[in-house]
Structure 1
Amino acid sequence: MRRSRICATVLVLALAAAGCANSDPTAGADEYPADEIRMVVTYAAGGPTDLGGRAVARHMEEKYGVPVVAENVEGASGGIGTAEVANSKPDGYTIAMTTASAVSRVPLIEDVGYTFEDLTPIGTVTVGPGMVYVPAGSPYQSGEDLFAAAKANPDTITVGTPGAQSPQHVELVRMKELYGVSFRIVPFEGESPAMTGLIGGNVDAVFGSNAQVSLAQVDEGKARVVAVGAAERLEYVPDAPTLVELGFPELTFGNSTFILAAPAETPAEIVASLESALQEALADPETVKVLGEERVAPEFIGSEELSGQMRAEVDQIGPILQKLFA
């Protein structure tokens, strides 16, 4: 009897030890990756987040020799998919292709089940300056025309955005608050659906980014860019003035940064591996061709630098967001 009790005790301790080992997020870091990686794309298929994520996933598959499966989990301006990743096991096998806004701004606006602290930025994939589009046949020939009409006729001109908590949506709310220019804002679940709405005549304008899906409409003569949210004019749309030039000096936050992120407490070795894989992907001409050369930052922005940038933005714009969306 005594021997049976001792054996039972040893077995329980052994199982407990095994359980602790399996719950350790650093377990297996040296062999990473040994299994399929799931990349949660937090916006709709066909948009810039989706196209960018799938391009990076293909390169990672080649590097790692394991499947990297991109899956669209859209909603709440990227918040639903980002929450899924934030609350997943921090072992590097579930990562997010999302936006800096979804990680840092959205949790400040509404309860989405995570905070900025629940995720670890891996690196920047692309940077998209905000751009205001109108259909080719729009009566608004310029940004001046569009904003003057909105000021004269509040809440009548419709403007689509990539989401209700997207940087572009927030800037339109701030435009009303600071300058009395009021649009009827129509949030979509991503930029691709927003541009479809624009070309289909469902909205008068779209405040999006320089996503290829959007610029393609310009190249095809179906849309025009009448303003940009960048600090300076963009050489590929040189005739489009900045919002600052148009009399909105404080509207400098309407730009999209697309990033890879992992759950907080993901082992540093795994974050470093994913960061390196992303950097290699962004140096690959085929990946850059899909992403769009104008969207890839000249210098790679890795985990530490990106985390610092996002933290600084949270500190700067956080109080503004909480006031606007209280």
Structure 2
Amino acid sequence: MVAVSAVILTGCAAAPTSGAENFPQREVRFVLPYSAGGPSDLGARALMDCFEQRFGESWVVENQAGGAGAPAMVDVATAGPNGYLLGLGTQSTLVTTPTLEESVGYTDGDFTYLGQPMAIPSLIMVRPDSPFRTIDDLLAAVRATPETVSVGTSGAQTSFSMALRELSGRGTVFNTVPFEGTSEANAALLGGTVDARWDAAGRDTLALVDAGRMRPLATGSEERLTFLPEVPTLAEHGITDLIDTTTYYAMIGPRDLDPRIVERLRAELPGCVADPGYRNAVGAPYAVHTAPDVLTDRLEAFGRRLREVVAGG
């Protein structure tokens, strides 16, 4: 796998493209590996509205769900250097999918990373009537009778499933049940198909928590969440040094994206993340801008840890 950090300067090394100074001069396509209507889609549309206001022309979101995100990522990786096809990915689509499925047609080194517009921490949740009142209750049950406690995730290749796999290697063996997405995982927990759920603490999940339909036991973040300060971290209960389960979103272009376009996009992204319309669309706690170098460091660290988890079985 190509190191992510290697592409941080790639956009700056590409040959200039004719018309870059006046970019854009026509519609810009923004490809998402997600279905329409979800939190990522709503956030992307608000982000494109902001870019449209700042740059002019139309910035159009295209949803390409399925294939573990690979079709959408291939489209971005193979786009021309003129900036008219960009996209949004996460460590799952950018790192996990090409690491576990080498035939997908791209690696994490095939992109120019423009910055992070959003990040969503993770939560471990149960139903309100669950016998597991605390994360310690859940861990004790798993350790007493391995594989008897089922935990749903939003996909087999998500960081949540990888973290559960890592815990299994340490002797805390859950019965991991991956679903096709967040809505399916939510339904499984609410319907009693699984005992718990580990997933992103997005707005849809928080709505269920606020309504009293799910009860959070712990967060996978390093620190307690500002919007759920009463929920402890896993580290507070002895679970440390796991693969990172915060979902980091990356605005991306092809590897050889014109350096002048790269510079302009990177310069405008922080302002759009701070834009009230965008923050309202994604939820203020999730509108977190991170510079490209910090983002690529995180993705590279995630990739190293992922390979360790996979190698460990």
Which TM-score band applies after superposition, normalised by the shorter structure? 0.7 to 0.9
> SS of the counterpart of 2:236?
coil
Secondary structure (helix, strand or coil) at the match of 2:106 reads coil
Tell me how far apart the structure 1 counterparts of residues 110 and 157 of structure 2 sit (CA, whole Å): 19
SS in 2 for 1:241: coil
Could you tell me how far apart the structure 2 residues matched to 1:80 and 1:186 are? 25
Give the conservation status (yes or no) of the 8 Å contact 1:97–1:260: yes
* Residues 1:320 and 2:308 are matched in the alignment: yes
Structure 2 letter corresponding to 1:141: R
Q: Corresponding residue for 2:202? A: 211
- Deviation per CA, 1:231-264, whole angstroms, max 9, x where unpaired? 1222322232211122211225121111211111
Identity %: 35
Q: Match of 1:175?
A: 167
1:205/1:47 CA distance change after superposition, 3 Å: farther
Letter in 2 for 1:240: V
Aligned partner of residue 173 in structure 2, secondary structure: coil
Give 1:163's aligned amino acid.
G
Change (3 A) 1:267 1:254: same
Match of 2:212 in 1: 221
Q: Which residue of structure 1 aligns with residue 135 of structure 2?
A: 143
In structure 2, the partner of 1:79 is: 70
Match of 1:128 in 2: 120
Identify the residue that residue 87 of structure 2 maps to in structure 1.
96
Cα distance between partner residues in 1 of 2:218 and 2:226: 13
Asked whether 1:48 is paired with 2:36, we answer no
Contact 2:32 2:89 in 1 (8 A): yes
**d(CA) in 2 for partners of 1:81, 1:147:** 38
Give the CA deviation at 1:295. Answer: 1.5
Change (3 A) 1:32 1:70: same
Cα offset, 1:72, TM superposition:
2.0
Question: Is the alpha carbon distance of 1:152 and 1:275 closer, same or farther for their aligned partners in structure 2, counting shifts above 3 Å?
Answer: same
Of the structure 1 ranges 125-134 and 189-198, higher mean CA displacement relative to structure 2 is found in: 189-198
Which of 1 and 2 has higher RCO (CA within 8 Å, sep 6+)?
2
SS of structure 2 residue aligned to 1:213: helix
The two structures have a TM-score, normalised by structure 1, of 0.83
Judged with a 3 Å threshold, the aligned counterparts in structure 2 of structure 1 residues 163 and 84 are, in CA distance, closer, same or farther, namely farther
Paired letter, 1:246: H
> How far is 1:25 from its partner?
7.0
Aligned match for 1:156, one of 148, 152, 174: 148
In terms of Rg, which structure is larger? 1
Q: Give how far 1:189 is off.
A: 3.5
Q: Which residue of 2 aligns with 1:305?
A: 294
5+ residue gaps, structure 1: 1-23
Give 1:126 shift: 1.3
Give the TM-score normalised by structure 2. Answer: 0.86
Select 1:271's aligned residue among 262, 279, 282.
262
Separation (CA, whole Å) in 2 of partners of 1:76 and 1:184: 24
Is contact 2:153–2:178 with CA below 8 Å preserved after alignment?
yes
